[in-house]
Structure 1
Amino acid sequence: MPNATDTAPRTGEHVDGYEVPVLDEHAIRIAAGILLAAGITALAFTLVSGSIRPLQTFGLFFLVDMATRILISDRLSLTLALARALRRRCRPLWVGAPQKVFAWWLALGIAAVSCVTMSAGIVPLTVTLGLCGICFTLLFLEAVFGWCAGCALHQRLSRQPTRHCANGACDR
Protein backbone atom coordinates (compact mmCIF):
# COMPACT_ATOMS: atom_id res chain seq x y z
CA MET A 1 0.00 0.00 0.00
CA PRO A 2 1.60 3.33 -1.05
CA ASN A 3 2.11 6.01 1.55
CA ALA A 4 1.96 9.77 1.12
CA THR A 5 5.65 10.05 0.26
CA ASP A 6 5.24 7.59 -2.63
CA THR A 7 2.74 9.88 -4.37
CA ALA A 8 4.46 13.18 -3.60
CA PRO A 9 5.82 14.96 -6.67
CA ARG A 10 9.58 15.33 -7.01
CA THR A 11 9.06 18.86 -8.24
CA GLY A 12 6.40 21.11 -6.81
CA GLU A 13 3.84 20.45 -4.13
CA HIS A 14 0.19 19.59 -4.02
CA VAL A 15 -1.89 22.56 -2.89
CA ASP A 16 -5.65 22.52 -2.46
CA GLY A 17 -7.40 24.10 -5.42
CA TYR A 18 -4.70 23.22 -7.96
CA GLU A 19 -4.96 20.19 -10.25
CA VAL A 20 -1.22 19.91 -10.80
CA PRO A 21 1.79 20.27 -8.51
CA VAL A 22 2.74 23.92 -8.10
CA LEU A 23 5.79 26.05 -7.33
CA ASP A 24 6.20 29.57 -5.95
CA GLU A 25 6.78 31.87 -8.92
CA HIS A 26 8.44 34.51 -6.75
CA ALA A 27 11.03 32.00 -5.49
CA ILE A 28 11.68 30.83 -9.05
CA ARG A 29 12.27 34.40 -10.19
CA ILE A 30 14.64 35.07 -7.29
CA ALA A 31 16.53 31.83 -8.06
CA ALA A 32 16.81 32.94 -11.71
CA GLY A 33 18.26 36.25 -10.51
CA ILE A 34 20.78 34.44 -8.31
CA LEU A 35 21.87 32.26 -11.24
CA LEU A 36 22.05 35.29 -13.53
CA ALA A 37 24.23 37.22 -11.04
CA ALA A 38 26.53 34.23 -10.57
CA GLY A 39 26.76 33.68 -14.32
CA ILE A 40 27.53 37.30 -15.15
CA THR A 41 30.16 37.31 -12.40
CA ALA A 42 31.74 34.16 -13.84
CA LEU A 43 31.67 35.68 -17.32
CA ALA A 44 33.34 38.85 -16.06
CA PHE A 45 36.08 36.84 -14.34
CA THR A 46 36.55 34.81 -17.51
CA LEU A 47 36.91 37.91 -19.67
CA VAL A 48 39.26 39.67 -17.22
CA SER A 49 41.46 36.67 -16.46
CA GLY A 50 41.51 35.13 -19.92
CA SER A 51 40.79 31.76 -18.30
CA ILE A 52 37.65 29.80 -19.12
CA ARG A 53 37.72 28.13 -15.67
CA PRO A 54 35.26 30.55 -13.92
CA LEU A 55 32.66 30.02 -16.64
CA GLN A 56 33.20 26.26 -16.56
CA THR A 57 32.69 26.27 -12.79
CA PHE A 58 29.49 28.24 -13.14
CA GLY A 59 28.31 25.93 -15.93
CA LEU A 60 28.85 22.89 -13.74
CA PHE A 61 27.00 24.56 -10.84
CA PHE A 62 24.14 25.46 -13.18
CA LEU A 63 23.96 21.87 -14.49
CA VAL A 64 23.91 20.41 -10.98
CA ASP A 65 21.27 22.89 -9.80
CA MET A 66 18.95 22.19 -12.76
CA ALA A 67 19.47 18.42 -12.58
CA THR A 68 18.72 18.48 -8.85
CA ARG A 69 15.47 20.40 -9.44
CA ILE A 70 14.32 17.99 -12.13
CA LEU A 71 15.64 14.59 -11.13
CA ILE A 72 15.78 14.68 -7.33
CA SER A 73 13.63 17.45 -5.86
CA ASP A 74 13.22 21.18 -6.24
CA ARG A 75 13.54 21.34 -2.43
CA LEU A 76 17.22 20.35 -2.71
CA SER A 77 18.16 22.94 -5.32
CA LEU A 78 20.61 25.35 -3.70
CA THR A 79 19.32 28.43 -5.55
CA LEU A 80 15.65 27.62 -4.92
CA ALA A 81 16.38 26.90 -1.24
CA LEU A 82 18.09 30.28 -0.91
CA ALA A 83 15.24 31.99 -2.75
CA ARG A 84 12.66 30.34 -0.50
CA ALA A 85 14.62 31.41 2.59
CA LEU A 86 14.60 35.00 1.32
CA ARG A 87 10.80 34.79 0.80
CA ARG A 88 9.84 32.75 3.85
CA ARG A 89 7.44 35.36 5.24
CA CYS A 90 5.72 36.18 1.94
CA ARG A 91 2.64 34.64 0.42
CA PRO A 92 3.51 32.38 -2.53
CA LEU A 93 2.28 32.95 -6.06
CA TRP A 94 1.54 29.41 -7.21
CA VAL A 95 2.31 28.38 -10.79
CA GLY A 96 2.13 24.95 -12.41
CA ALA A 97 5.22 22.81 -11.93
CA PRO A 98 4.95 20.89 -15.26
CA GLN A 99 5.77 23.92 -17.39
CA LYS A 100 8.64 24.94 -15.10
CA VAL A 101 10.09 21.43 -15.28
CA PHE A 102 9.86 21.63 -19.08
CA ALA A 103 11.70 24.98 -18.97
CA TRP A 104 14.37 23.53 -16.68
CA TRP A 105 14.92 20.59 -19.06
CA LEU A 106 15.53 23.11 -21.85
CA ALA A 107 17.95 25.05 -19.65
CA LEU A 108 19.73 21.84 -18.70
CA GLY A 109 20.10 20.94 -22.37
CA ILE A 110 21.54 24.31 -23.37
CA ALA A 111 23.89 24.27 -20.38
CA ALA A 112 25.03 20.71 -21.13
CA VAL A 113 25.87 21.60 -24.73
CA SER A 114 27.71 24.73 -23.52
CA CYS A 115 29.70 22.80 -20.93
CA VAL A 116 30.66 20.02 -23.32
CA THR A 117 31.75 22.42 -26.05
CA MET A 118 33.62 24.58 -23.55
CA SER A 119 35.46 21.65 -21.99
CA ALA A 120 36.23 19.77 -25.19
CA GLY A 121 37.07 22.83 -27.27
CA ILE A 122 34.83 21.45 -30.02
CA VAL A 123 33.68 24.86 -31.23
CA PRO A 124 35.17 28.34 -31.03
CA LEU A 125 34.75 30.09 -27.68
CA THR A 126 32.46 32.64 -29.33
CA VAL A 127 29.87 29.90 -30.00
CA THR A 128 29.99 28.78 -26.37
CA LEU A 129 29.70 32.39 -25.21
CA GLY A 130 26.71 32.77 -27.54
CA LEU A 131 25.01 29.80 -25.85
CA CYS A 132 25.81 31.35 -22.46
CA GLY A 133 24.35 34.61 -23.72
CA ILE A 134 21.10 32.83 -24.61
CA CYS A 135 20.95 31.34 -21.11
CA PHE A 136 21.68 34.71 -19.49
CA THR A 137 19.00 36.38 -21.61
CA LEU A 138 16.42 33.75 -20.62
CA LEU A 139 17.42 34.05 -16.95
CA PHE A 140 17.07 37.85 -17.21
CA LEU A 141 13.61 37.60 -18.79
CA GLU A 142 12.49 35.19 -16.04
CA ALA A 143 14.00 37.15 -13.14
CA VAL A 144 13.01 40.65 -14.20
CA PHE A 145 9.84 40.25 -16.25
CA GLY A 146 8.56 36.85 -15.12
CA TRP A 147 8.49 35.62 -18.72
CA CYS A 148 9.44 31.97 -19.07
CA ALA A 149 10.40 30.82 -22.57
CA GLY A 150 10.08 27.17 -21.59
CA CYS A 151 6.61 27.80 -20.21
CA ALA A 152 5.56 29.48 -23.45
CA LEU A 153 6.92 26.51 -25.42
CA HIS A 154 5.23 24.05 -23.06
CA GLN A 155 1.91 25.73 -23.74
CA ARG A 156 2.37 25.33 -27.49
CA LEU A 157 3.94 21.86 -27.58
CA SER A 158 2.44 19.89 -24.70
CA ARG A 159 -0.49 17.57 -25.20
CA GLN A 160 -1.55 18.33 -21.63
CA PRO A 161 -3.05 21.76 -20.98
CA THR A 162 -0.69 24.21 -19.34
CA ARG A 163 -2.26 25.32 -16.06
CA HIS A 164 -1.62 28.05 -13.54
CA CYS A 165 0.79 30.29 -15.43
CA ALA A 166 2.21 33.45 -13.92
CA ASN A 167 -0.06 36.44 -14.50
CA GLY A 168 -2.67 34.19 -16.15
CA ALA A 169 -0.52 33.88 -19.29
CA CYS A 170 -1.82 30.41 -20.19
CA ASP A 171 -5.45 31.53 -19.92
CA ARG A 172 -5.11 33.88 -22.89
Structure 2
Amino acid sequence: MSYGKIIPDLKINGKPAPYGVVNDRSIRATAGIMFVVGITAFFLTQLLNSRTPLYIVVPIFWLEFLLKTVMGPQWSLFGILGDWLVRKQEPEWVGAIQKRFAWGVGLLFSSTMILLALIMGVKGWIPLSICATCLSFMWLESAAGICVGCKMYGWMISKKIIPAPKYRPVCPGGACSIR
Protein backbone atom coordinates (compact mmCIF):
# COMPACT_ATOMS: atom_id res chain seq x y z
CA MET A 1 0.00 0.00 0.00
CA SER A 2 1.48 3.35 -1.00
CA TYR A 3 1.22 6.51 1.04
CA GLY A 4 -0.17 9.55 -0.72
CA LYS A 5 -2.03 9.86 -3.98
CA ILE A 6 -0.62 8.17 -7.09
CA ILE A 7 -1.38 10.34 -10.13
CA PRO A 8 -0.73 8.61 -13.47
CA ASP A 9 1.67 10.50 -15.77
CA LEU A 10 2.36 13.19 -13.14
CA LYS A 11 5.59 15.12 -13.62
CA ILE A 12 7.22 17.37 -11.04
CA ASN A 13 10.03 19.62 -12.26
CA GLY A 14 9.81 17.79 -15.59
CA LYS A 15 10.55 14.41 -14.00
CA PRO A 16 8.12 11.49 -13.73
CA ALA A 17 6.54 11.16 -10.28
CA PRO A 18 5.36 7.53 -9.99
CA TYR A 19 5.24 7.78 -6.18
CA GLY A 20 2.64 8.98 -3.70
CA VAL A 21 2.13 12.73 -3.58
CA VAL A 22 0.24 15.23 -1.44
CA ASN A 23 -0.96 18.77 -2.19
CA ASP A 24 1.60 21.13 -0.69
CA ARG A 25 -0.80 24.08 -0.83
CA SER A 26 -3.15 22.21 1.49
CA ILE A 27 -0.25 21.09 3.69
CA ARG A 28 0.93 24.68 4.11
CA ALA A 29 -2.59 25.97 4.80
CA THR A 30 -3.04 23.25 7.41
CA ALA A 31 0.31 24.10 9.03
CA GLY A 32 -0.78 27.74 9.19
CA ILE A 33 -4.05 26.83 10.92
CA MET A 34 -2.22 24.61 13.38
CA PHE A 35 0.33 27.37 14.01
CA VAL A 36 -2.43 29.86 14.89
CA VAL A 37 -4.10 27.34 17.22
CA GLY A 38 -0.76 26.36 18.77
CA ILE A 39 0.59 29.88 19.29
CA THR A 40 -2.75 30.92 20.81
CA ALA A 41 -2.61 28.00 23.27
CA PHE A 42 1.06 28.75 23.98
CA PHE A 43 0.40 32.39 24.89
CA LEU A 44 -2.81 31.63 26.81
CA THR A 45 -0.89 29.10 28.89
CA GLN A 46 1.79 31.70 29.65
CA LEU A 47 -0.49 34.71 30.16
CA LEU A 48 -3.16 32.97 32.24
CA ASN A 49 -0.67 30.76 34.06
CA SER A 50 -3.04 27.90 33.29
CA ARG A 51 -2.28 24.54 31.72
CA THR A 52 -5.88 24.15 30.46
CA PRO A 53 -5.02 25.23 26.88
CA LEU A 54 -2.30 22.54 26.82
CA TYR A 55 -4.75 19.88 28.00
CA ILE A 56 -6.96 20.75 25.04
CA VAL A 57 -4.54 21.50 22.20
CA VAL A 58 -1.73 18.97 22.76
CA PRO A 59 -4.02 15.89 22.51
CA ILE A 60 -5.71 17.40 19.43
CA PHE A 61 -2.30 17.93 17.81
CA TRP A 62 -1.28 14.40 18.80
CA LEU A 63 -4.39 13.01 17.07
CA GLU A 64 -3.76 15.23 14.05
CA PHE A 65 -0.19 14.00 13.62
CA LEU A 66 -1.21 10.38 14.26
CA LEU A 67 -3.93 10.54 11.59
CA LYS A 68 -1.58 12.18 9.08
CA THR A 69 1.22 9.72 9.73
CA VAL A 70 -0.86 6.54 9.76
CA MET A 71 -3.87 7.27 7.55
CA GLY A 72 -2.80 10.22 5.42
CA PRO A 73 -3.54 13.95 5.43
CA GLN A 74 -6.99 13.46 3.92
CA TRP A 75 -8.09 12.01 7.29
CA SER A 76 -6.68 14.77 9.46
CA LEU A 77 -8.95 17.19 11.28
CA PHE A 78 -7.13 20.38 10.35
CA GLY A 79 -6.27 18.91 6.93
CA ILE A 80 -9.93 18.92 5.92
CA LEU A 81 -10.08 22.65 6.69
CA GLY A 82 -6.76 23.24 4.89
CA ASP A 83 -8.11 21.41 1.81
CA TRP A 84 -11.23 23.55 1.90
CA LEU A 85 -9.23 26.80 2.12
CA VAL A 86 -7.23 26.00 -1.04
CA ARG A 87 -9.98 24.15 -2.93
CA LYS A 88 -10.06 26.71 -5.77
CA GLN A 89 -6.29 26.75 -6.26
CA GLU A 90 -4.27 24.53 -8.55
CA PRO A 91 -2.72 21.70 -6.48
CA GLU A 92 1.04 21.78 -6.05
CA TRP A 93 2.05 18.13 -5.77
CA VAL A 94 5.00 17.10 -3.62
CA GLY A 95 6.38 13.74 -2.57
CA ALA A 96 4.37 12.28 0.31
CA ILE A 97 7.04 10.17 2.00
CA GLN A 98 9.12 13.07 3.31
CA LYS A 99 5.99 14.89 4.53
CA ARG A 100 4.95 11.71 6.33
CA PHE A 101 8.32 11.65 8.08
CA ALA A 102 7.86 15.31 9.08
CA TRP A 103 4.44 14.52 10.57
CA GLY A 104 6.11 11.66 12.45
CA VAL A 105 8.42 14.27 14.01
CA GLY A 106 5.30 16.22 15.02
CA LEU A 107 3.85 13.03 16.50
CA LEU A 108 7.05 12.55 18.50
CA PHE A 109 6.89 16.15 19.79
CA SER A 110 3.23 15.89 20.77
CA SER A 111 3.71 12.44 22.36
CA THR A 112 6.60 13.83 24.40
CA MET A 113 4.45 16.78 25.48
CA ILE A 114 1.63 14.46 26.55
CA LEU A 115 4.04 12.38 28.62
CA LEU A 116 6.10 15.19 30.16
CA ALA A 117 3.71 18.13 30.50
CA LEU A 118 0.29 16.51 30.77
CA ILE A 119 0.96 13.21 32.56
CA MET A 120 4.11 13.95 34.57
CA GLY A 121 3.35 17.64 35.13
CA VAL A 122 6.80 18.85 34.04
CA LYS A 123 6.97 22.65 33.78
CA GLY A 124 9.70 25.01 32.67
CA TRP A 125 12.13 25.16 29.81
CA ILE A 126 11.79 21.55 28.56
CA PRO A 127 8.10 21.64 27.53
CA LEU A 128 8.53 25.30 26.55
CA SER A 129 11.39 24.33 24.19
CA ILE A 130 9.40 21.47 22.67
CA CYS A 131 6.43 23.77 22.03
CA ALA A 132 8.61 26.54 20.63
CA THR A 133 10.40 24.12 18.30
CA CYS A 134 7.17 22.58 17.03
CA LEU A 135 5.61 26.03 16.51
CA SER A 136 8.76 27.18 14.67
CA PHE A 137 8.53 24.17 12.35
CA MET A 138 4.85 24.93 11.64
CA TRP A 139 5.62 28.59 10.95
CA LEU A 140 8.48 27.71 8.60
CA GLU A 141 6.24 25.28 6.69
CA SER A 142 3.30 27.65 6.39
CA ALA A 143 5.07 30.98 5.86
CA ALA A 144 8.29 30.05 4.06
CA GLY A 145 7.49 26.64 2.56
CA ILE A 146 10.41 25.09 4.44
CA CYS A 147 9.69 21.60 5.71
CA VAL A 148 12.26 21.02 8.45
CA GLY A 149 11.16 17.39 8.90
CA CYS A 150 11.67 16.86 5.15
CA LYS A 151 15.19 18.27 5.45
CA MET A 152 15.85 15.91 8.38
CA TYR A 153 14.55 12.99 6.30
CA GLY A 154 16.86 13.85 3.40
CA TRP A 155 19.83 14.27 5.74
CA MET A 156 19.15 10.90 7.41
CA ILE A 157 19.06 9.23 3.99
CA SER A 158 22.32 10.92 2.94
CA LYS A 159 24.02 9.67 6.12
CA LYS A 160 22.52 6.19 5.60
CA ILE A 161 20.74 6.35 8.96
CA ILE A 162 17.54 5.27 7.24
CA PRO A 163 17.22 3.45 3.91
CA ALA A 164 16.57 5.42 0.75
CA PRO A 165 13.09 5.02 -0.74
CA LYS A 166 12.66 3.32 -4.11
CA TYR A 167 12.00 6.75 -5.65
CA ARG A 168 13.47 9.99 -4.40
CA PRO A 169 10.47 12.32 -4.41
CA VAL A 170 10.93 15.89 -5.55
CA CYS A 171 9.10 19.09 -4.78
CA PRO A 172 8.53 22.16 -6.95
CA GLY A 173 11.44 24.49 -6.41
CA GLY A 174 13.37 21.73 -4.63
CA ALA A 175 12.18 22.93 -1.21
CA CYS A 176 11.67 19.39 0.10
CA SER A 177 13.25 17.23 -2.59
CA ILE A 178 15.15 14.11 -1.53
CA ARG A 179 18.50 14.13 -3.30
Name the TM-score class by shorter chain: 0.7 to 0.9
Q: Is the 8 A contact 1:56 1:118 kept in 2?
A: no
- Computed over aligned residues only, the root mean square deviation of the Cα atoms, in angstroms, reads 1.7
Shift of 1:75: 1.2
Q: Is 1:13 aligned to 2:19, yes or no?
A: no
SS at 2:87 equivalent: coil
Partner of 1:81: 80
Q: Is the 8 A contact 2:109 2:130 kept in 1?
A: yes
Letter in 2 for 1:163: P
Superposition TM-score, scaled by structure 1 size: 0.88
Partner of 1:165: 171
Partner of 1:150: 149
Partner of 1:42: 41
Q: Is 1:112 aligned to 2:104, yes or no?
A: no
SS at 2:29 equivalent: helix
Aligned 1:106-145 pairs, distance under 5 A: 106-121=105-120, 123-145=122-144
Shift of 1:49: 1.8
Report runs of 4+ in structure 1 exceeding 4 Å deviation.
none
Partner of 2:56: 57
> 1:44 & 1:34 partners in 2: Cα distance?
16
Overall identity of the aligned pairs, in %: 28
Partner of 1:98: 97
> 2:155 & 2:134 partners in 1: Cα distance?
21
> 1:139 & 1:25 partners in 2: Cα distance?
13
- Relative to its length, the structure with more helix (as a share) is 1
Which stretch of structure 1 is more off in the superposition, 93-102 or 125-134?
A: 125-134
Long gaps (5+) in structure 2: 11-16, 158-163
Which stretch of structure 1 is more off in the superposition, 158-167 or 46-55?
A: 158-167
Q: Residue deviations 1:89-114, cap 9 Å, x none?
A: 11100000000000000111011111
Shift of 1:125: 2.7
> 1:46 & 1:155 partners in 2: Cα distance?
35
Shift of 1:157: 1.7
Long gaps (5+) in structure 1: 1-6
SS at 2:118 equivalent: helix
Superposition TM-score, scaled by structure 2 size: 0.85
Partner of 2:68: 69
Q: Is the 8 A contact 2:69 2:101 kept in 1?
A: no
* CA spacing shift, 1:167–1:42, aligned 2, 3 Å: same
Q: Is the 8 A contact 2:154 2:178 kept in 1?
A: no
> 1:171 & 1:118 partners in 2: Cα distance?
34
Aligned length: 164
Letter in 1 for 2:7: V
Letter in 2 for 1:134: T
Shift of 1:171: 7.0
